[in-house]
Amino acid sequence: MNAPARPTLRTLRQLTEAGVIAPGHAAGLAAVVERYAVALTPEVLAGIRATGGDGPLARQYVPTRAELHTAPEERPDPIGDWAHSPVKGVVHRYPDRALLMPTHICAVYCRFCFRREAVGPGHGGLSEAELDAALDYIRRAPTIWEVILTGGDPLVLSARRLGQILSALDDMPHVAAIRIHSRVPVAAPERIDEALLAALAAPHKPVNLAVHCNHAAELTPAAVAAARRLRRAGVMLFGQSVLLGGVNDDAKVLERLFRAMLAAGIKPYYLHQLDRAPGTAQFAVPLARGRAIVKALRGRLSGLAQPTYVLDIPGGAGKVPVGPDYVRENATRVEDPRGIVHDLGPG
């Protein structure tokens, strides 16, 4: 007989009873959870207990009063999604790519999320009519070469609904690649079941999955097994991480994360500079320090395990690499991973 499914923690009372927050702190967090959604899956709760109440997983998921403070540089839509949304559920910032956001629900809610003002149970998702309109926009835009399913987390959708969306995209001749961004493989790996795998394997076009993961402790045996199931279904896995103060703002911590990703069959793809949404100042790492941390990885970590360090320019101007430079003096000299500068000679 199967054991009953363990619930996802969503209320301050549940967090208190689980020992995630101290009883005396609950009252002070009421305004936080009223404004920003909270969800801790059983997998995340186990990880928090394993790494400590003030450890790297707790810091990512457990609400704090610091979230009520909005710094001057923070904005509700830090990367300009709203200004580039031609129809509800679509963001079309680059000519060849479009985001499709069929849901605003997530399996878990990160305290640093750049869409934290627009996700959660109170925000719902697209109705059938709205989803049809969003797909029709993509269908009528021949420059769109890649569609990126995000939200919210697309892998919280039923296998049937996800399959319908993927089938519609598969039928569009100009769409050559499909990408999905998700926390589910690390936060709720049990959702990667046979029905979901069948939906992901059905399209004839490549399905790429960007797995959001910020600390090696998130790559539990269950998460690694979920990644293995996805790879066997033909899904290509890429890792997406955010540089977070108090979580992974250390070269050795990032080295362990990226090695663990690659060992699990997940190619580290992007390391993001934090997008400054309201209440996220506690996670901010200065760009200069981020560049120094990333530079420390060069020469000690395989190129396969090194993501591109990127910044989404506030306001919607786009994403650019911001990693360290090694070329010097009008491209006549170059610095090696040890910091020694070499002459390149003429030409």
Closest CA to 107 of 50, 34, 163, 186: 186
- Residue 139 Cα to chain centre, angstroms: 26
- What is the pairing mode between strands 333-335 and 327-328? antiparallel
Look up 295 and say whether it is catalytic: no
Look up 333 and say whether it is catalytic: no
The catalytic position among 59, 93, 179, 229 is 93
The catalytic position among 319, 326, 328, 333 is 319
Look up 137 and say whether it is catalytic: no
The catalytic position among 36, 59, 106, 229 is 106
Quote the crossing angle between the two packed helices 159-170 and 194-201, to the nearest 10°.
10
The catalytic position among 59, 75, 111, 115 is 115
Look up 213 and say whether it is catalytic: no
The catalytic position among 59, 111, 113, 276 is 113
The catalytic position among 275, 276, 295, 309 is 275
| Residue 182 and residue 209 in contact, taking contact as beta carbons nearer than 8 Å | yes
The catalytic position among 59, 110, 179, 191 is 110
Look up 109 and say whether it is catalytic: no
The catalytic position among 137, 229, 309, 312 is 312
The catalytic position among 94, 170, 231, 259 is 94
Rounded Cα distance between 57 and 75, Å, is 25
Rounded Cα distance between 96 and 147, Å, is 9
| Residue 186 and residue 223 in contact, taking contact as beta carbons nearer than 8 Å | yes
Closest CA to 178 of 207, 214, 221: 207
| Percent of the chain as helix, strand, coil, to the nearest 5 | 40, 15, 45
Catalytic residues: 93-94, 97, 106, 110, 113, 115, 275, 312, 319
